[in-house]
Each structure stands twice: as structure tokens, then as C-alpha cells.
Amino acid sequence: MLAKRLLSFTNLGQGVNVSAVTSPLVWEHVQPPAARRLLTGAVDAFAERGFQATTTRDIASRAGMSPAALYVHYPSKERLLFEISLYGHQAALEILTKAAAGAGPADRLQGMVSAFTAWHAEHHTIARVVQYELAALSPEHFAEVATIRRAISALIERVLADGVADGSFAVDDLHGTTLAVLSLAIDVARWYSPSRQDPAELGALYADLALRMVQA
Amino acid sequence: MLAKRLLSFTNLGQGVNVSAVTSPLVWEHVQPPAARRLLTGAVDAFAERGFQATTTRDIASRAGMSPAALYVHYPSKERLLFEISLYGHQAALEILTKAAAGAGPADRLQGMVSAFTAWHAEHHTIARVVQYELAALSPEHFAEVATIRRAISALIERVLADGVADGSFAVDDLHGTTLAVLSLAIDVARWYSPSRQDPAELGALYADLALRMVQA
DNA sequence: GTCTATATTTCGATAGAC
DNA sequence: GTCTATCGAAATATAGAC
């Protein structure tokens, strides 16, 4: 009954686990190793089944530990979610900020959408937790990641506004178009599976589509 | 801890309930009224908290009944989800099929994207269950809705292919662009709140964006 | 820091009266 | 067809030994 999450719109298999095990390299800053194993196990479990359907026993088991050992490193299941969500949001913002440093609005938008999209594909397990488990955060923890979300949204809206100002973009509804560009990249976390497409290729496709959406 | 679901990318309030109570008119075919009250209660609960976080007590309470009364009308919580998911998929396919009967590819795509997007906004509670609770279905029930999902995907891919064939569209990656157009509309279910935008206006905006994405 | 064992709560689903 | 009462399972988290 606890089937795995959907992998594509038409779905390529409810029972197929295409979620690669989260690379430990991404979480090198988490110490000690036992805490890191729990965290990467939680990422995989949350991405596969969702936060509510994931048990602490499942997370501990993926880390090769007993259920009780989890509480030595994290005070609760929600705290584990928060650590993942916070780091994921910070990483996504950092990727986008770096890509925002381009020449003209078109170049910047191209770089931002391709990087943001590729991140959602490359780190689709983290991205799923980031984008779809916000409601499971405590109000205080949610408020913290919401700040980062506003910064991400503002970066996209800024480049579109700049493009309109210098005449390279033609956008009627600035806020609506910003949301649409974000949507396109975010929804990748819902359907992406590593076997389908290379993250960089997908990023290039989506950057092209975003440019078409806004270009004069 | 059981906070409500995200409403927009930057989120306008984890604790704010913008989910309008599901209109009973949509479920007129469900009889008797007690079964319908349970079903609409389940739609609202699943959309707000997700399937796993929703208790049968919550659903029964929304229908003004005791927990046990639910099982007179539905054999399990999963069956309730399946009824919602099946009807929602059928309704979305029907909307899209009607809109697919246009003149040229451009007109057809415009009509399909605006209708499909507006449906996801207008019925965003049902759409959330349809798009984000697939993994909670039994394998048999999932297979049934997956058939409908493939039909929906095929309708979009068809109009894009027709547009490429007659020269009105310029699309490099047919499958990838189909997925992107679907993504745009589906992600509406994640962030939409009735106070933000009129469904018809949003549909018009997204139809314009989709046309820009594919036009020669 | 990890284990076994368990306290405590809550859930999906059922029994049986009316 | 709805109720009260409850069963049995499973969950989060804790206690205490090592």
C-alpha cells in the first residue's frame, strides 16, 4: 500500500525505484558520519514515500541503525526534515544567485533557468522534499525556509523586469510569468527520473522555452 | 504540526486555509448524500494535509458523522482516494478532449492549455489529490488512472506534432516540450489559491505562454 | 553512541446495539 | 444507516543497560 511516488506524468512504474541513493558528497558538512547516514536515508525515504508515510524505523534502517539511535542525532523526525529542507533551499538559492551574474537579461535568464532546472533534475530527491514537504515543517521552521523562497522568486522577477525595461523582453503579467517560469523548473522534481534525460540537456531545453515565453 | 499545504511559491501563509469547501455540485452523481458528504470532506482533507496525514476520523467529522459510519459507504480510506482520483482524471480528460476540437493546431493548443490550466485552478483541491496523491493508490487502482494520464499526455503531444507537421510550430524536442506544457498547467494545483487570480485569466496567460513556447 | 525493551498515543477498521 | 465502544497494529519517542 505504501507505493513509491510518481515518476512521470504518465508514470513509468509505481513500483520502480529510480531514486538513486543520495550522494553522500552533497552532505559532507554533516557530522558525524552516523548523522549523515541518517540524513541521506531520510532524503531518500521522504522523496520516495513522503514525510508522513516515512517511519523513523525506515530512516534508521536505511542508516543501518536501530530506531532509538536516531534520537541521539536528531530530536525528532521533523527536525530531520527541516535540516534537509533548509540545506536544499540554501543550495538552490546559491545555484540561482551564481547564475544570475550574467551580461544582459536574456543571458541571465538563460543561465538561471538552465541551472535551476538542472539542479531540480540532478538533485531530484532533495528537490522533492524541498518542494512538496513544506507543510510538514513546524511554523517556525517553515518561516525560515519561506524567506529563502521569497529570495528565489525575487531573483527571477528581477531579471524579467530588467528585460522589460531594456526592451529585450515583452511580458504583460510580470508576476504571473515569474511564477510560470519557476513552476516549469520546480515541477521537474515531481516527474524526473535519472533514466529519462540528462539534467544539463533538460536545463538547456527549459532555458530555451523560458526565453521563448518572454522574448519580444 | 499538521500544517496546511503550501499555497504559493513564496507561500502566503502555512496556517491560512484558502481551500474553499469543495462544491457539492461537482459530485452530484455520488449517492446517497452521506457518501457525497464523506467524499467532499475527503477531497478537502487530502488537498489540505495529504492522504497519509488525513485520518478517517477527520473525514467522518467533516461529514458530520462518527468514524464508523464511513465504512458503511466506503470499504477503506484508499477506496475514497481512488473514487476522487478516478473522477478527477476523467473530468480533466473530458475538459481537454472538448477543447481539442478546434481549427488549426494553434487554436487547439490555445484552447487546450487554457481549459486544462483553468480546470486545475478552479478545481485546485481535486487537482491536488489527482496530481500529488498517486503514490497512495493501490497498484490496481493506480493502473486504472494511469491509462487516463497517458490519454491526456497523448492529446497534447498530438496537437504539437500536428503543428510541427503543418509548419505552424517549431519544436525540437517533442516529448520534452509536451511534458513542459503539461507541467506548467499541473503545477497550478500546487500553488493556486482562489484569492490570487481568476482561473480564466490564468488560463489565458498560460495559453499565451504555451503558444510562445512552440510557435515558429 | 548504540543497543533492547517498552511506554504512550493514535490510527484504520470492526462488533454489535438501535 | 448511524451510533458507542473497542480491537489490534503500528507509530514516535524514551528508559536504561552496555
Q: Is the pLDDT of residue A212 over 90?
A: yes
Residues in A touching B152 (Cβ below 8 Å): 9
Q: Is the pLDDT of residue A176 over 90?
A: yes
Domain presence at residue B189: yes
DSSP state of A197: -
Residue A201 corresponds to which cell in the numbers above? 540537456
Domain presence at residue B54: no
Q: Is the pLDDT of residue A14 over 60?
A: no
What local confidence, expressed as pLDDT, does residue B17 receive? 42
Place of cell 497550478: B188
Domain presence at residue A106: yes
Of A37, A23, A161, nearest to A91 by C-alpha is A23
3-state secondary structure B47-66: HHHCCCCCCHHHHHHHCCCC
In chain A, positions 77-96 with C-beta closer than 7 Å to nucleic chain D are 77-78
Domain presence at residue A46: no
Domain span at residue A95 reads: 2-14+77-214
**Considering its fold, how many domains does chain B have in total?**
1
Q: Is the pLDDT of residue B4 over 50?
A: no
pLDDT in tens, A52-61: 999 999 999 9
Protein-proximal positions, strand D, CB < 7 A: 1-6, 10-16
Domain of B161, CATH number, reads 1.10.357.10
pLDDT in tens, B80-132: 999 999 999 999 999 999 999 988 999 999 999 999 999 999 999 999 999 99
Domain presence at residue A34: no
Place of cell 531530484: A124
What local confidence, expressed as pLDDT, does residue B22 receive? 76
DSSP one-letter string for B4-56: PPP-SSS-S-TT----PPPPGGGGTTS-SHHHHHHHHHHHHHHHHH-TTT--H
**Chain A residue whose CA is closest to B203:** A176
pLDDT bracket for residue B13 (50, 70, 90): very low
**CB count, 10 Å around CB of A56?**
18
Domain presence at residue B39: no
Domain presence at residue A132: yes
Domain presence at residue A164: yes
